[in-house]
Structures are given as C-alpha cells and as structure tokens.
Structure 1
Amino acid sequence: MSQQQPLSEKLALITGCSGGIGQASARALARLGCSIAVHHSSESSKPIADKLVFEILSLSPGLRVHAFQADLSTYDGAEKLHENVVKTLGHPDILFANHGTTGRKIGPTGDIQDISVEHFEEIWRTHAGTSFRLTQLCLPYMESQKWGRIIYTSSVAATTGGVIGPHYASSKSALHGLAHWVSQRYSKDGITSNIISPALIADTVMMSDVNPELTKRIPVGRFGRSEEIASVVALVATNAYMTNHIIPVDGGMTSG
C-alpha cells in the first residue's frame, strides 16, 4: 500500500498564481497531495491560471483544482474570492497570500514626495490589507479543524528598504507584524504562521526590467528561481512546529 501524501485531503488557497512563485508553489503543494484554489487577478491572466489548472489535473486527476479571478487591491475582492472558493472547493486549510504589485518604482535614491498618499494606501491595501482580510476569513475553519497554515510572501525590501520604494517596502514589513501576531495567538490551535522573504527571483513580474548588475549584491552570484521559493512554501506547509518565522530565501543578501 502506498504511503499517504502529507497534504492529502487539504486545500490551499494560493493568491497570485499568474506569477512564477504562485505557479511553482501550486505545483509543489499539488505534488504533496494538496488540492489548489488558483487565484489570478484579471482577464488577461486567465489563460495562465487555466493552463496551471490543466497541468495540475493532468498530473494529479484526483485533486480539486479550480481557477478564481479576483481583484485583491480591494477588500470586496478578497471577500468574494473566499466566498467563491468555499462554494466551489470548500474551506481552505492553507492560505498562501502571495499576491502583490510593485506599484510606482522610484528606486533607493528616489524622492519620497513622488509617492502620493493615495498610492501608498493602495499598495498597503493590496499587500497587507487584503492578506489580513483573507486571514480573517480563513481562520474560523482552521480553528474548527485544529489545523491550518498561513503563509505570506514578503520581500527582503521589508528589512533592507529594497529597490522599489517606501510604499512597497513598508507594506511588506507590515506582513511581518501580522504573521507574528497570528502565530502567537493561534499556534496553540494547530495553526502556524510564517513569512517567506524572497530577494530577486528571475521569473516574476517585478524582475521584468531589473538591471543584471544587481546580481553583484547577491553572494551566490545569481537571481533566484521560483522553484526555490516553492520548496520553502512546501516545507512550512508540512511542518507543524515551524511558526512565527521570517524565512529569507535571498541567496545570502541578508543574515536572517
């Protein structure tokens, strides 16, 4: 008799699946027997999400896999996404809040005056706000099951300031405080909460126009790959004793 896969009968809601990290993480969790709610943000990203669903179902026909479109720059979008996932696939056991946007790029030497209050709040709402709302919505079921995994995608920018701007860096650091609080409050209920903090990952939207010279800042001498982030997502999803951590996956750029 074959051994049961570690995440069989679990469902993961993964946001931002039109990007490399979301897609790689969906494949990694599916290989562990996890069903996947594939989120994408717009009609233009629908073909990418549909292709990912087809790929996962082709490899693992017994899983529940479906694509859902939602604008996660709004709280209404987060609420509708959760509602549609529950109606179609059931309640998520794992929330991987991986969605995000760079917003306006002013760089590390830019002028803070070029970021309006409205844009600042939009980026914060997209990263910290809707991740918070999805966490609120997913937690009651996780509590009832005494099992849950909450994972957020942050960035080394949260601890270094990064190369985009203050709106992006500060919104990512807000996720750190959220993960710490959730972990302290809900770990006793079997719910872990962790942050994955990537550096420069080659196959992501953020990297579409990044200067190759930035590899000089990375001790391993190259940009990262989405699969290298996904392997850490799989680790924290299957580990019941690892919680309240910010996990850098950054080629040695930061010390932890």
Structure 2
Amino acid sequence: MSEPRKVALITGATGGIGRATAIAFAKTGRYDLALHYSNASQETRDEIQNTILALAPSPDPDTGATRTGQTRVEFFRADMGGYASVRELHSDVAKVFGKVDVLFNNAGSTLGYQGVKNLADIPIGIFESTWRVNTGSAILLTQLCLPAMEEQGWGRVVFDSSVAAFTGGSVGPHYASSKAAQHGFVHWLAGNVARKGVTVNAVAPALVTGTGMMGQEDGEKAKAMGERLPVGRTGRPEEIANTVLWMVETAYLTNKVITVDGGMYPY
C-alpha cells in the first residue's frame, strides 16, 4: 500500500545547503517540497526544480512503491527579516499543502558583516536584524508549524546552526550569538514536545563551500582554511543535507546539536 508523502518546508532553499537538502529529500521519494527563497531569479528556481524532478523517483505502477504520484515542488517567496512576511509564508504553504510535517530552518544571513575584528564595528541594529533573520523568524515559523505536527503526533524541526555558536567563529559576534540562541530554543522545545512525536534538533556546520559564508568561494583562502581542519578540506553542502535527512528520519534523535565540521570542534 502506498504511503502519502510528507511535506518538507525548507527555508533558504536556493542556497547551497538548502538546495542540496531539497535534492536529498526528493531522492527518497517520500517528501513533497515547499521551498522558500528571498530573491532568487526565476532561472535559478527553474533549474532547482528541474534538477529535483529529474532525480526524484517516479511512481512504480507495477510494485506500488511507497510513494504516491510525482514529487511536488513549489516555491514561496518571503523576507525572513519581517515577521509579517514569515506569517504570510506559512499561510501560503498551508494553503497549497495543508500542513508542514518537516521544517528545516535553514535561511540565515550575516547581513554583509564578515571577518569582524572589533565589537565596535557592529552597530547594535545589525545585531537585532541578524537575530531576527537567523533566530526570531525561525522560531516564529516553528511556532506556526508546530500545532499541526502535534495534532497528528508526528513532526520534525531542524535548525541550521553553525560551529560559530560553540567557538565564536570568524564571521562576527552578531552571527555567532544568533546561532547560539538557536541552541537554547532547541533544548527547550525538544523537551517540551518529545512525547508528542515531534523531534527538534540542529546541525552545526563549519567551512562549507557553496554557501556564501566564506567570502572567496572555493578560492585559495577557502582551501587554506580547509587544510587546517583535521580532515584536510572544507565541507560540501551534500554532507550537511545528508545529516539533516538522517535527523528527520531518526525518531530516537532529539534535543541534539550535531556539529559537521571536519573535526574542528570535539563535541
């Protein structure tokens, strides 16, 4: 008997990690995808959709595979810096898909401030804006998606954090503090909803290429940074995506922040 797909909402889905995660979920044939973007072009969205549909399994009429129909992919635009826009995002996704089963809070920003050397170089307004984009909007979206998860007794929430939440990182204090705030929320919410069939976790990557977080993408600087890691290289978006999928499909895993960082941080 075929099993209906679950709906996965991925924010920041046109970036490196978001795109790779959407593809990883699609390959299983078990998820329909609600993909958030902020300013990606139609060309970029079409390319992502075509890639996903080409890689997603097709229904098997002979065996009655564990999926129903073709993978559905829909894009939704929202400004994660505005709570009204986040509410509209949830409303739009609910109108199309009915509910969200899996939420990957992946969208994030440095607001253009990277490699900060002095606290005085970051206006307090940048702190507040960064927290809103990286943490506040993710918490609000979780709050909006959670009732349906609790009602059906199954749900998954994953945050895309950063090793900077543990180490301070190299981007700046605005970014590190916004990611650290996610961890406190994960720990509180995970304990609150564990008996309701909802798991809450975070993945904390470091030095992943193709994300726009290292400045000079895939250049000599990034290569040199990767060579300092125990594994001797930077990470790939697909490696983060596979971790997120593992988190979603492992019901016994909750209240965890998993670093995927090439051995940079020991916990």
Normalized against structure 1, the TM-score is what?
A: 0.93
Deviation digits for residues 1-47 of structure 1, max 9, x if unmatched?
9xx68xx52000000011110011001111222111011111x4443
- Aligned: 1:232 with 2:243: yes
State the 1:203 CA deviation: 1.1
| Residue identity opposite 1:159 in structure 2 | F
Report the Cα distance in structure 2 between the residues aligned to 1:207 and 1:190, rounded to whole angstroms. 37
State the 1:79 CA deviation: 0.6
1:187 aligned residue:
194
- Aligned: 1:80 with 2:88: yes
1:169-184 equivalence runs, <5 A = 169-184=176-191
1:102 aligned residue:
110
1:60-209 equivalence runs, <5 A = 60=56, 62-107=70-115, 110-209=117-216
1:215-254 equivalence runs, <5 A = 215-254=226-265
State the 1:53 CA deviation: 2.0
CA contact (8 A) 1:11 1:37 kept: yes
Q: What SS class does the counterpart of residue 209 from structure 2 fall into?
A: coil
| Residue identity opposite 2:161 in structure 1 | S
Q: CA RMSD, aligned part only?
A: 1.6
| Residue identity opposite 2:86 in structure 1 | A
Deviation digits for residues 174-196 of structure 1, max 9, x if unmatched?
11011111100001000000000
2:43 aligned residue:
47
CA contact (8 A) 1:64 1:89 kept: no
2:12 aligned residue:
16
Q: What SS class does the counterpart of residue 207 from structure 1 fall into?
A: coil
Closer, same or farther: CA 161–46 of 1 in aligned 2, 3 Å? farther
Q: What SS class does the counterpart of residue 12 from structure 1 fall into?
A: strand
| Residue identity opposite 1:17 in structure 2 | A
State the 1:100 CA deviation: 0.5
Normalized against structure 2, the TM-score is what?
A: 0.89
Q: Structure 2: state its 5+ residue gaps.
A: 59-69
State the 1:217 CA deviation: 3.0
Q: What SS class does the counterpart of residue 57 from structure 1 fall into?
A: helix
What percent identity do the matched residue pairs reach?
A: 45
State the 1:49 CA deviation: 2.5
Q: Structure 1: state its 5+ residue gaps.
A: none
Q: What SS class does the counterpart of residue 263 from structure 2 fall into?
A: coil
Deviation digits for residues 62-81 of structure 1, max 9, x if unmatched?
12210111111111111111
Greater mean alpha carbon deviation, residues 73-82 or residues 128-137: 73-82
Q: What SS class does the counterpart of residue 213 from structure 2 fall into?
A: helix
Greater mean alpha carbon deviation, residues 234-243 or residues 207-216: 207-216
2:54 aligned residue:
58
CA contact (8 A) 2:8 2:103 kept: yes
Q: What SS class does the counterpart of residue 251 from structure 1 fall into?
A: coil
State the 1:106 CA deviation: 4.9
- Number of residues of Structure 1 aligned to a counterpart in Structure 2: 250
State the 1:83 CA deviation: 0.6
